[in-house]
Amino acid sequence: MLYVTVIQAGELCLREHELGTCGRVAVKALLDDFDTGKGTSPQPSFPGPCWQEVLDLQDDGGAAVLSLLLVDTDRLQPRPPGQPFVFGRVDLR
């Protein structure tokens, strides 16, 4: 399965001004709420990050929902391991 993404941060985070509070953001992909280990490269959070990347996601053909999350990639922020702050999310069925 191959997904081509062209994503602007404002499409995933309605409060785009909040992005300026962190250093870098990225888009993380989930299939049926399971982490795929795939995502975009981090970009500066301001002004208006945009990604034009190809996400090559393999599944058994039974995945029903692709979720794209806009996450904080700043390693200095105190977060539980594996739990990045999520600015926004969109689910594609």
Neighbours of 33 (CB within 10 A): 8
- Which residues of the chain have a pLDDT value below 70? 1-5, 16-22, 54, 58-63, 76-79, 81-82
Cβ atoms of 46 and 53 closer than 8 Å: no
Q: Residue 69's closest CA among 18, 17, 34?
A: 34
pLDDT value at residue 4 = 60
What is the structure's pLDDT at 21?
66
Confidence (pLDDT) at 82: 66
For residue 24, give the amino acid letter: R
**What is the residue extent of each domain of the chain?**
2-92
Per-residue pLDDT of 46-66, as tens digits, reads 777 888 876 777 666 666 788
What is the predicted pLDDT for the residue at 78?
66
